[in-house]
Amino acid sequence: MSEMIGVNIEIGGELPVAKIGEFLKILNDDISDINTGPTDEEGLRNEAGKDPIKWYGIANYGLAKDLTNFCKDNKLSYIFMSDAKYEYDAQKEFWTPDRKYAVTINCTQDGTEVVRIDLIKPVVDLMLAYVQNPSSAPAKFLGDERYSELLSKLTKRPKRAHAIFQKTLDDMMPTEPKLPPFTIKE
């Protein structure tokens, strides 16, 4: 059984010429009914150059795992989005070669990221308490598992509180990367 869901993927980076055939096969196997973006070598070569390339189509359950794995294996940056359908939320996934893992976030149908209040509110509460009184703030939040990791970091390195809070917020609300142009390395 399958469920075809609308997807789009934008890819940037340098694709070795020897990998064009493999790339196109995986692209066309993972995404069907491509209505935007090149699907053959001539089209790929014509679009390669100054910008990332974007493809629109449909994929089984809104997934293109072989394609995104190919991108990671070949150091091609990507932003992949699947539409919402029935019980499936719209999602955006992005990866660049400087990341260990891909980032996946829920989003609206138009691609706007959704921030879960239940996850961010505890961090904001702790930040505000810490700004008011750094020495007594941790005691207010002890025993609540939502704060344990953050409190541990703050206790070990109190002078790095700003950096710790910044990294925590960046991890919770990641910034979509600007992709490099899609190029072919001859």
Report the pLDDT value the prediction gives residue 1, as an integer from 0 to 100: 59
Report the pLDDT value the prediction gives residue 46, as an integer from 0 to 100: 96
Residue that has been written with the tokens 């001859």 in this structure: 186
Report the pLDDT value the prediction gives residue 19, as an integer from 0 to 100: 98
Q: How many CB atoms lie within 10 A of CB 179?
A: 20
* pLDDT per residue as tens digits for the range 143-152: 778 788 888 8
Report the pLDDT value the prediction gives residue 15, as an integer from 0 to 100: 98
* pLDDT per residue as tens digits for the range 12-51: 999 999 999 999 999 999 999 999 999 999 999 999 998 9
Q: How far apart are CA 46 and CA 63, in angstroms?
A: 27
Stretch 135-144: mean pLDDT: 78
Which of 20-29, 55-64, 87-96, 114-123 comes out lowest in average pLDDT? Answer: 114-123
